[in-house]
Amino acid sequence: MTGSEDRVIDVGQLLERVESAPPIEAVEAVAAALGEMVEARSVTLLITDFTGRAVVRLTSADLVDGARGHGVEQAETLPLAGTVYDRVLRSQEADVRADGDGAVVVVPVTDRGDAIGVLELELPRPPSPTQVDEVRTAAHALAYVVIAARRHTDVFEWGQRSSPFALAAEIQRRLLPASYTCEAGQFTLAGWLEPASSVGGDTFDYNLDRDSLQLSITDAVGHQVAAALLATLLVGSLRNGRRGGMDLAAQAAFANDSLAENAPSGQFVTGQLLRVDLHTGTAGIVNAGHVLPLRLRNGVVEQVQLRVDPPFGVVPGRAFQVQSFPLEPGDRIVFLTDGMEERNAVNLDVATALADSADLHPREVVHALGAAVLAETSGDLRDDATMICLDWYGGPPRGRRTEQGADPDRASAPA
Q: Render pLDDT for 350-401 as a digit per residue (tens, 0 to 9).
A: 889 999 999 999 999 999 999 988 888 888 888 899 999 999 999 888 888 8
Taking the C-alpha atoms of residue 343 and residue 97, their distance in angstroms, rounded to an integer, is 46
Look at residue 1 and tell me if it is in a domain: no
Q: Which residue has the higher pLDDT, 4 or 83?
A: 83
Taking the C-alpha atoms of residue 366 and residue 387, their distance in angstroms, rounded to an integer, is 7
342 pLDDT more than 70: no
- Are 414 and 90 within 8 A, CB to CB? yes
Residue 204 DSSP SS3: strand
Measuring CA to CA, which residue among 259, 255, 169, 162 is closest to residue 216? Answer: 255
Q: Which residue has the higher pLDDT, 73 or 257?
A: 257
Measuring CA to CA, which residue among 400, 404, 402, 401 is closest to residue 134? Answer: 404
- Are 160 and 50 within 8 A, CB to CB? yes
Considering its fold, how many domains does the chain have in total? Answer: 2
- Are 106 and 119 within 8 A, CB to CB? yes
Taking the C-alpha atoms of residue 155 and residue 166, their distance in angstroms, rounded to an integer, is 18
- For residue range 51-67, list pLDDT tens digits in order: 999 999 988 776 677 78
Q: Check residue 347 and give its pLDDT.
A: 62
Q: Are strands 212-220 and 294-297 parallel, antiparallel or unpaired?
A: unpaired
Q: Considering 130, 159, 188, which residue would you say is the last residue of a domain?
A: 159
Question: What is the pLDDT confidence band of residue 4, given thresholds at 50, 70 and 90?
Answer: very low
Question: What is the pLDDT confidence band of residue 199, given thresholds at 50, 70 and 90?
Answer: confident
Q: Check residue 84 and give its pLDDT.
A: 97
Question: What is the pLDDT confidence band of residue 244, given thresholds at 50, 70 and 90?
Answer: very high
Residues 226 and 367 in one domain: yes
Across the chain, what does the average pLDDT equal?
A: 92
Residues 175 and 196 in one domain: yes
Question: What is the pLDDT confidence band of residue 3, given thresholds at 50, 70 and 90?
Answer: very low
- For residue range 96-142, list pLDDT tens digits in order: 999 999 999 999 999 999 999 999 999 999 999 999 999 999 999 99
Range of the domain at 388: 166-410
Q: For residue 252, what are the β-bridge partners?
A: none
Taking the C-alpha atoms of residue 87 and residue 336, their distance in angstroms, rounded to an integer, is 27
Torsion of CA 315, 317, 318, 322, to 10 degrees: 140
Q: Considering 159, 187, 217, which residue would you say is the last residue of a domain?
A: 159
Residues 6+ apart with CB under 8 A from 150: 156, 157
Number of DSSP helices (H) and strands (E) in the chain, helices first: 10, 18
Residues 251 and 398 in one domain: yes
Taking the C-alpha atoms of residue 202 and residue 385, their distance in angstroms, rounded to an integer, is 8
Beta strands in 132-251 (DSSP E): 181-183, 187-194, 201-208, 212-220
Residues 143 and 170 in one domain: no
Residues 281 and 347 in one domain: yes
Residues 144 and 228 in one domain: no
Is the C-alpha dihedral spanning 363, 54, 27, 91 positive or negative? positive
Look at residue 5 and tell me if it is in a domain: no
Measuring CA to CA, which residue among 86, 87, 89 is closest to residue 78? Answer: 86
Residues 236 and 363 in one domain: yes
Cα 292-382-230 angle, rounded to 5 deg = 70
Look at residue 223 and tell me if it is in a domain: yes
- Are 406 and 354 within 8 A, CB to CB? no
From residue 138, how far is each of 17, 43, 154 by CA, in Å? 13, 12, 23
What CATH number does the domain containing 54 carry?
3.30.450.40
- For residue range 160-179, list pLDDT tens digits in order: 998 888 999 999 999 999 99
- Are 123 and 102 within 8 A, CB to CB? yes
Look at residue 44 and tell me if it is in a domain: yes
7 pLDDT more than 60: no
Percent of the residues in the chain that have a pLDDT greater than 90, as a whole number: 75
Q: Considering 121, 137, 159, which residue would you say is the last residue of a domain?
A: 159
Cα 328-333-336 angle, rounded to 5 deg = 160
Residues 151 and 170 in one domain: no
Taking the C-alpha atoms of residue 374 and residue 385, their distance in angstroms, rounded to an integer, is 9
Residues 232 and 253 in one domain: yes
Look at residue 182 and tell me if it is in a domain: yes
Question: What is the pLDDT confidence band of residue 74, given thresholds at 50, 70 and 90?
Answer: confident
Residues 6+ apart with CB under 8 A from 399: 185
Counting Cβ atoms within 10 Å, is residue 412 exposed (0-12), middle (13-18) or buried (19+)? buried
Residues 300 and 240 in one domain: yes
Q: Are strands 294-297 and 68-70 parallel, antiparallel or unpaired?
A: unpaired
What would the mean pLDDT of 184-190 be, rounded to a whole number? 97
Look at residue 3 and tell me if it is in a domain: no
Look at residue 391 and tell me if it is in a domain: yes
Residues 153 and 173 in one domain: no
Q: Are strands 294-297 and 283-288 parallel, antiparallel or unpaired?
A: unpaired
Residues 296 and 271 in one domain: yes
What CATH number does the domain containing 319 carry?
3.60.40.10
Taking the C-alpha atoms of residue 146 and residue 262, their distance in angstroms, rounded to an integer, is 37
Look at residue 174 and tell me if it is in a domain: yes
